[in-house]
């Protein structure tokens, strides 16, 4: 009989205490948010990690003989806007869009005079062999982005491609958001 009375008493005590669990949830959310910011800050601040990541993205794309695999991997490393922008620039001569219309469409987000109409990272699409010979941080845009001056050397054509590549940290990953190509 005593056992039967203890269970309702304990339940009544727990319910009547009115424990507010919402503050613990808010505190957990705040702690998680702070941890996310620390991770974000540390990833975008680690220039060695970004250089290694960027070098791998470039060489894996250009040096890959499997075009579908190369394109799929590259798309994961680019923002959707940059991919669409560059793809439209590459295919401009085959589209109904004029160069003026292209510039009007993208001028608010990108400086279209630096887009280049060749392939991604090189002007030739031969999938030769390249190496990144220079990848130097030139500008930090706070805790959200960095710009790297990058030189890609095409070993087959013995040509250098100089560009400034903007890297952002979004959705827990590094992404290329712009490539200014210099001729």
17 belongs to a structural domain:
no
Q: Is the residue at 28 inside a domain?
A: yes
Helix axes 47-62, 67-77, angle to 10 degrees: 150
Whether residue 63 is predicted with pLDDT greater than 60 in this model: the reply is yes
Q: Is the per-residue pLDDT at 98 higher than 50? A: yes
Structural domain contains residue 13: no
| Least confident segment among 90-94, 102-106, 120-124 | 120-124
Q: What is the pLDDT of residues 81-94, one digit of tens each?
A: 999 999 999 999 88
For position 90, what pLDDT does the model report?
Answer: 92
CATH number at residue 130: 3.10.450.540
pLDDT at 134: 98
User: What's the average model confidence in pLDDT over 49-72?
Assistant: 94
36 in a structural domain? yes
Q: Which residue has the higher pLDDT, 82 or 22?
A: 82
Using CA atoms of 117, 121, 124, 129 in order, give the dihedral in degrees to the nearest 10.
Answer: 180
Q: CA geometry: angle at 85 spanning 161 and 165, to 5°?
A: 40
Q: Return the minimum-mean-pLDDT range out of 21-30, 144-153, 172-181.
A: 21-30
The edge-to-edge listing of strands for the beta sheet with 159-170 is 130-141, 145-154, 159-170, 173-182
Q: Per the domain annotation, does 1 fall within a domain? A: no
Q: Which of 1-10, 57-66, 116-125, 172-181 has the lowest mean pLDDT?
A: 1-10
Distance CA(171)–CA(47), nearest Å, equals: 19
Residues 6 or more apart whose CB falls under 8 angstroms from that of 47 comprise: 137, 146
Nearest to 123 by CA among 54, 59, 182, 51: 182
Q: Does any domain span residue 11? A: no
Specify if 10 maps to a domain.
no
Sole residue written with tokens 């190496």 = 131
Identify the H or E element spanning 137: strand 130-141
pLDDT value at 133 more than 70: yes
Number of independent structural domains in the chain: 1
**pLDDT on residue 37:** 54
What is the rounded distance in angstroms from the CA atom of residue 111 to the CA atom of residue 164? 12
Average predicted confidence (pLDDT) for the chain: 83
Containing structural domain, residue 91: 23-182
Give the tokens for residue 53.
Answer: 């990541």
pLDDT given for residue 13 in this prediction: 43
């Amino acid at each position: 009989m005593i056992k039967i009375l203890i269970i309702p008493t304990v339940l009544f005590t727990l319910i009547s205490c009115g424990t507010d669990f919402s503050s613990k949830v808010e505190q957990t959310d705040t702690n998680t948010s702070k941890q996310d910011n620390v991770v974000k800050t540390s990833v975008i601040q680690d220039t060695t990690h970004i250089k290694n990541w960027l070098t791998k993205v470039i060489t894996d794309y250009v040096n890959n003989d499997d075009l579908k695999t190369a394109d799929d991997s590259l798309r994961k490393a680019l923002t959707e806007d940059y991919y669409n922008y560059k793809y439209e620039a590459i295919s401009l001569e085959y589209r109904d869009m004029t160069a003026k219309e292209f510039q009007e469409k993208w001028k608010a987000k990108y400086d279209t005079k630096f887009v280049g109409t060749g392939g991604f990272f090189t002007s030739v699409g031969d999938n030769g062999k390249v190496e990144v010979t220079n990848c130097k941080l030139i500008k930090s845009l706070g805790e959200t982005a960095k710009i790297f001056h990058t030189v890609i050397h095409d070993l087959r054509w013995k040509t250098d491609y100089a560009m400034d590549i903007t890297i952002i940290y979004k959705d827990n990953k590094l992404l290329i958001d712009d490539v200014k190509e210099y001729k």
